[in-house]
Amino acid sequence: MSRIPAVDQECCISCEVCVHLCPEVFRMEGEDGHSHGHDHDHGAHKSIVYNPTGAPESKIELAMDSCPAACIYWRD
Ligand code: SF4
Digit-coded pLDDT (tens) for 8-66: 999 999 999 999 999 999 999 975 555 555 554 456 799 999 999 999 999 999 999 99
Distance CA 47, CA 37 (A): 14
Q: Which atom of ligand 1 is nearest to the CA of 13?
A: 3
CATH code of the domain covering residue 8: 3.30.70.20
**Dist. CA 38 → ligand 1 center (Å):** 17
What is the total count of domains within the chain?
1
Distance CA 37, CA 59 (A): 28
Listed in sequence order, the residues at least 6 apart from 33 whose beta carbon sits closer than 8 Å to its beta carbon are none
pLDDT for 31: 56
Q: Which residues pair with 49 in a beta bridge?
A: 26
| CB distance 13 to ligand 1 below 6 Å | yes
pLDDT band at residue 76, thresholds of 50, 70 and 90? confident
pLDDT for 42: 54
Which residues constitute the domain of residue 33? Answer: 4-70
Q: Report if residue 61 sits inside a domain.
A: yes
